[in-house]
Structure 1
Amino acid sequence: MEKGLFHDLYKRLNTLDVRSYSPDQLSGLLHGYLTVYSMVRVYPWLEADFGLPVDIHERAKAIARVFLGQLGNKDVPVDTRAGYVADVMDVYQVYSDLGYLDSGVDAAYGILSSRDNGRIALPCRTPNVCRLLCNCYYFAGDEECGELAGRLVTEALGYIRGSDRGDLLAWWDAICLYDDTVGAMKLSQVEQERLDGERARLRVSVEREEDAMIERFRQAGVDADAGMATGVFYILARREFERCNGKK
């Protein structure tokens, strides 16, 4: 059932002009396309369902260009801009265009403004800022950013354990990115095993919330707003990729 919903949603979203969305509705769409791109590259026969990688890339780059136009817009809340910057840097991971990376790194350090002592000042302690820190560690080799990201992840896991599940899905993405980028390089074996355990426990709650979001989308039908549609698209794309990997 999910597979059919995913394919139908993919076809529907492909007909829309990304410029018709507000930028804050596009992150899920971007990461959905990046996931589909990776899936088609790994399993080329899926081109019959999703199209050529170059065409999928063009959709992702069109979204990235929308974000690029917002990076210096000080009227946009800083947390939202942090998300745009992190998304632009994510595009570089599958499309090695230094223009995206350079723009992302410059904008990132504009947001992570330094204090007089030269240390980074966090504008807020959110999933978007955590993602930004992870990307600065990964792309710029900034050890301080890696350490700060680890502190934000520890804080987030603490209040999630305490039943504060606000922004659960956003924190899940940030925690997974931290594990894949910073954790793989900086954590000791004991720390990594602890994080693996936390992720395994958290995944149950994440899947429950994702299922609820998918069901709300189904019930809304054509009345579902764009933000819900793009968020569900990303969830279903990730699950489809995991399903394909399970067949290996």
Structure 2
Amino acid sequence: MEKNLFREVYKQVCGLALKDCPPSSLSGLLHGYLSVYSMVRVYPWLEDEYGSLWDIHDRIREIARVLQELLKDKDIPVDTRAGYAVDLMDAYLLYSDIKFLDVALDTAYEILIPKGSDKMVLPCRTPNICRLLCNCYYYTGETESGYLAGDLVIEVIGVLKEIDRKKLLAWWKAICLYNDVVGIVTSSSREWGYRKEDCNRLYVDIEQVEDERVEFFQQMRRDCGICLVVEVFDILARREFMMYNEGCNI
């Protein structure tokens, strides 16, 4: 059932013109395509269903170029700008245009280091800022950004029950990125063990929230907006790739 739904949603997003996509939908669109690209790269026969690697690659490049343009506007909210910078870095992992990385890192340091200072200061304590810190650590090896990201993760895990369910999804992505990119490098092994246990318990809640979003999409269908379509695309693409990795569809 979910597989058929994913195929339907994938056809829908492939037909979207980027100029018609709200900026707030670009992150989900990008990461959905990154999941599809990874899936087709590992299992080449899936090109028959999802198109060639080159076509998917080209779509990701298109999104990255839009993000690069959006970052030129320094008047947008700092959290939004941080999200665009992180997404551009994520696109760079696949489409290795050094200009993308340069623009994203320049933006990151504009956000994190006030003029006249050489020390990082968090402008807000959000999932996007946490992701930005993780990516700065990944690309530059700057340990301060890794420690600051760890502080945010510890802080948010302590108040998970108080977080709005939709924001919970955004924090989950930030926590997963921290686990993958920074993790034990900036934590004691004991502290890391506690955190991993909390994250494992959180995963059950995350799946439930995602299921609710998918169910809501199915109920709305023709009446839902682009943002919901893209959100469900991101969820289902990631799940589909995970299923192939686990050998469920082979």
TM-score by length of 1: 0.95
Q: State the alpha-carbon separation in 2 of the partners of residues 112 and 79 from structure 1.
A: 11
Amino acid of the structure 2 residue aligned with 1:101? L
- State the distance in 2 between where 1:96 and 1:74 align: 24
What is the number of equivalent residue pairs in this alignment? Answer: 247
CA displacement 1:145-196 (0-9 Å, x = unmatched)? 1010001111111110x44345100000000000000115333432332222
The corresponding residue for 2:155 is: 155
User: How is 1:163-178 mapped onto 2 (pairs within 5 angstroms)?
Assistant: 163-166=162-165, 167-178=167-178
Q: Tell me what 2:241 maps to.
A: 241
- Mapped to 1, the partners of 2:206 and 2:169 lie a distance apart of 6
**Which segments of structure 1 move beyond 6 Å, counting only runs of 4 or more?**
none
Is the Cα–Cα contact under 8 Å of residues 150 and 186 in structure 2 kept in the other structure?
no
Three-state SS of the structure 1 residue aligned to 2:72 is coil
| Change beyond 3 A, Cα 1:67–1:33 | same
Contact 1:115 1:121 in 2 (8 A): no
Name the structure 2 match of 1:37: 37
Q: 1:116: Cα distance to partner?
A: 4.9
Letter of the 1:91 counterpart? A
User: For the residues of structure 1 that align with 2:57 and 2:184, how far apart are their CA atoms?
Assistant: 27
> 3-state DSSP class of the match of 2:49?
helix
Q: Paired residue for 1:127? A: 127
> Which has the larger displacement, 163-172 or 136-145?
163-172
Gaps of 5+ in 1: none
**Cα offset, 1:123, TM superposition:** 1.1
Q: Cα offset for 1:54?
A: 1.2
Letter in 2 for 1:38: S
Residue number in structure 1 paired with 2:141: 141
The amino acid that maps onto 1:204 is: V
Listed as ranges, the gaps of 5+ residues in structure 2 are none
Q: Tell me the secondary structure at the aligned position of residue 216 of structure 2.
A: helix
1:72–1:107 Cα contact (<8 Å) kept: no
Residue type at the aligned position of 2:4: G
What amino acid maps onto 1:157 in structure 2?
Answer: I
**CA 117–77 in structure 1, closer or farther in 2 if over 3 Å, else same:** closer
DSSP-derived class of the 1:69 partner = helix
TM norm structure 2: 0.94
Return the offset for 1:47.
Answer: 0.9
Q: Contact 2:79–2:128 (CA<8 Å) still a contact in 1? A: yes
Q: Percent identity?
A: 51
1:219 matched to which residue of 2?
Answer: 219
Inter-partner Cα distance in structure 2 for 1:86 and 1:217: 27
Q: Deviations over 1:202-237 (max 9, x none)?
A: 001000000000011001101111111111100000
In 2, the alpha carbon distance for the partners of 1:185 and 1:55 equals: 37
